[in-house]
Chain A
Amino acid sequence: MGNQSFLFIIVFILIQLILPTHLLYFHIRETDRKCFIEEIPDQTLVIGKYKVELFDPQSNTYLPSTPGIGMHVEVKDPDEKIVLSKLYTSEGRFTFTSHIPGEHVICLYSNSTAWFGGQQLRVHLDIDIGEHAVDYQQISAKEKLTELQLRVRQLLDQVEQISKEQNYQRYREERFRATSESTNQRVLWWSIAQLLVLVIAGFWQMRHLKGFFEAKKLV
């Protein structure tokens, strides 16, 4: 039993090492900062996996692993407060759980010391949110569930995510309504204020000029 779980762990680790190299990737310069926006409800788990490769001009390819290149991962919550700010190695995994519903911004930038420009980096990235972040293979191994139990577990997670998202939608709609009502109020009060100012300015001008011309003995 010990041998079997050990073997399983080895295979599992191998999978984790192999998979990231086949994710979606994009290119950035060393000094660039790339940000992604995630609009999520509160109490949602977010897992991000990335891998960075450096361009080697001599061999004209991207080196699979370069020691010394690190990626700063900075996550800001909707109130612009920093939730996570850590430096990871060239291949890493970051997780955070949202405490406030709203737009979280995940920024990645390398720890390069160059002032501008720099070499090209290839970044493989995968961001999983909520129920996508749940690893069913791991759960199945840890809790020894049958396939049917695992599928029902997946359904439970999905339903929970849907209900969280519905709740978040109610919150968003409330904010939208508040914004619209505030705009309505502002249009009303500013229009009244401008009307009053125009009328008062008119009267003041008439009175002031009348006084001025009478003083100059022109009227």
Chain B
Amino acid sequence: MLPLLSHTLLVCIILIFKKIHANELTFELPDNAKECFHDKLKIGSKFVLEYQVVTGGNYDVDLELKSPSGKILYKETKKQYDQFEKTVEEDGVYQFCFSNEFSTFTHKIIYIDWKVDGDPEHEIPQPGPRVAEGALTMIELKVGKIHENLEKSIDYQTHHRLREATGRARAEDLQERVQIWSLGQFILIIIVAIGTVLLLRSFFTDRRTSSNMTWNR
């Protein structure tokens, strides 16, 4: 019981000082808008920012990542997908902003994955400092590897799902547009056919009366 309690206490203490977390969000960025996210980071931690434009226009967005002192660490325009990693060198609040200001009327749906040193509740941390790599048993090593590979698998699945969502949104949009435009064209053909006949009739009716008048002179 006592080792278990000290184990969990140590984990909790590590969590207080390490502040590790991961975050996946998908949001809609309206046209001409800018959306910023901030996070407080400590020196020594490593962060990974991954983003992908799911639907909207030309599937591109601008991203700018700034350090607390205002230094621009990452600035890219009109990219669909990218991944950026860095080890934190300055303490403070980092901010990254997505901009859709170059677009006049397309909304973009953007997926972001923000990871800082992994995820505390999700990752099972080591209970204490291991003396040497050899101290890990074979099973623990293999289990750790399987866990890493499964993480990668889940990540690939997420990106596959996003790419498929892009295609699916396009297909659904196309289906609706085909319906609306076809119906519109159908009605237009009928209107033009009837309109042409009526217009032609109106020409000949007028000319008839005027030609009548010239004969009766």
Q: Which residues in A have some Cβ–Cβ distance to B below 8 Å?
A: 1, 4, 7-8, 11-12, 14-15, 18-19, 22-27, 34-39, 125-129, 131-132, 134-137, 140-141, 144, 147-148, 150-152, 154-155, 158-159, 161-162, 165-166, 168-169, 172-173, 175-176, 179-180, 182-183, 186-187, 190, 193-194, 197-198, 201-202, 204-205, 208-209, 212-213, 216, 218
Contacts and interface: CB of A to CB of B under 8 A. Distances in A.
B171 A179 contact: yes
B122 A24 contact: no
Nearest to B122: A132
26 contacts: A4-B1, A7-B9, A11-B8, A11-B9, A24-B39, A26-B36, A35-B28, A36-B27, A137-B11, A140-B8, A147-B124, A148-B140, A155-B147, A158-B154, A161-B154, A162-B153, A162-B157, A165-B157, A169-B164, A172-B165, A176-B164, A179-B172, A183-B175, A194-B182, A194-B186, A209-B200
Interface of B: 1-2, 4-5, 8-9, 11-12, 15-16, 19, 21-28, 35-40, 109, 114, 119-122, 124, 127, 139-140, 143-144, 146-147, 150-151, 153-154, 157, 160-161, 164-165, 167-168, 171-172, 174-175, 178-179, 182-183, 185-186, 189-190, 193, 196-197, 200-201, 204, 208
Contacts of B197: 205, 208-209
Contact of A165 (B1, B16, B161): B161
A39 B26 contact: yes
